[in-house]
Amino acid sequence: MASSDFIIGIIGEGPTDHEVLQSIIVGYTGNKNLAFTPLQPKEGEPGNWDRVLKYCASSDFKSAFTNPDLIVVVQIDTDVFGTAHVPKEQAIAGMERMAVSEIVAAMQALLIAQMSEAFYKMIEARLIFAIAVHETECWFLPAYFNNDPKKAANPKNCIENLNKQLARANEGFYIDGKDLHNYRKLCRHFKKKKDILAFGKLNESLGIFVRELDKLPAMAEESDCSLDV
């Protein structure tokens, strides 16, 4: 299968997260003709972190991989997983003391548990994790704090800090709710691979996701057989 033949299915918390992921993937690969399909939420459906977990545990998730041309990106934010807003078995204990890489690893383990370890091993080469510590909005910070690595890397209060910089930069908008149009404006920063790589060096969870994207060509070559699930 040619590398241009694969389809990227996105599982995420909502439409704005889908927009961010697509923009990064297109900018990183330099391929504007990539085919994307929303798996969760589908167009017009609600979404949140709970629905991401439930989808990964569903038969729909497993059935999606019967399409041999499908590569799946799973996005989730980590902000609530150190709080009482999630069931005890889903909480990441001691998150406030963990390094970013440890939080990402713990979140991946939780997602894999939803899928089951056995099924994950079957589809690992066709699965990309996009774990945002603590919000996908944090991934925009390097574009506005490129001369302040500490603030670019800070995963706390990302929307508040981003809005302050948007005001200082006279952007004419700020992040309030999930206005897709405004997120598209922000995604202009992800048009070039060199910028995405630079941003990934400043924001660790973004960098981890970007390195996962190097799997795309290999997955396109290896996905020659469907799964019987």
Report the pLDDT value the prediction gives residue 222, as an integer from 0 to 100.
43
**Beta strand pairing status for 7-11 and 35-40?**
parallel
Q: How far apart are CA 224 and CA 204, in angstroms?
A: 33
Identify the band that residue 215 occupies on the pLDDT scale cut at 50, 70 and 90.
confident
Report the pLDDT value the prediction gives residue 220, as an integer from 0 to 100.
42
Question: Please, are residues 162 and 152 in contact by the beta-carbon 8 Å criterion?
Answer: no
Report the pLDDT value the prediction gives residue 150, as an integer from 0 to 100.
96
Report the pLDDT value the prediction gives residue 229, as an integer from 0 to 100.
53
| Interval 130-160: pLDDT, tens | 999 999 999 999 999 999 999 999 999 999 9
**Residue tagged 């041999």 (tokens):** 68
Provide mean pLDDT across the span 180-197: 97
The number of residues making up the chain comes to 229
Helix (H, G, I), strand (E, B) or coil at 9: strand
pTM: 0.92
Radius of gyration for the chain, computed over Cα atoms and rounded to the nearest angstrom = 17
